[in-house]
Chain A
């Protein structure tokens, strides 16, 4: 299973964009990049996933480097409700998710 490296914590101001980085240099050609987040006292919540191309959905955008060794989760306008631990996960097609330490995002009003 490919490992991921994320900063332990990041801060953002409310209503500003947030770029959460993730390094995954050992990713293999068929591995997917997933992002989940976990709000306090809740189970993890799916954010987005992709393989090679950049992806957009109603929650966020995922920018994947051309060599796929890194990716960035983009929250376009952070709100206080986006304060959470964000996990970048690399998985094969088995559905097996191995969570790393994640990035704790603080959003300041």
Chain B
């Protein structure tokens, strides 16, 4: 199984809502990543987890809260988002270190 799955595929939320994005992989990877991609732009790294611990936070606002409850799951909790946070949120996983990252299809988020 070389697949990274993300749910939901689409999400619409208001600025006062709390929601979560979910990412799952069963490849035994111990590094997991969140990226944000605006339309016609390249993906931007948000967070890196290594062995279930947060290792890199690219100065992401606290309204985005990542969580890695186990080695297969990665969540992104969303609270009090702004319309400019509307984007495609991509999850990826890999072996720790310099290795091929496997990306999921993304969750398309719209903040009203």
Contact = CB atoms under 8 A, between A and B. Distances in A.
Interface of A: 32, 36, 38, 42-46, 49, 85, 87, 91, 93-102
Nearest to B106: A43
Interface in B21-66: 31, 33, 42-45, 48, 50, 55-56
B92 interface: yes
Interface residues of B, number: 25
Given A87-B42, A102-B42, A46 B100 contact: yes
A91 B102 CA distance: 16
Interface of B: 4, 31, 33, 42-45, 48, 50, 55-56, 90, 92, 94, 96-106
A93 B101 contact: no
Contacts of A102: 42
Contact of A49 (B100, B103, B106): B100
Contacts, number: 54
Nearest to B43: A99
A79 B101 CA distance: 24
Most B CB within 10 A of own CB, among A38, A43, A102: A43
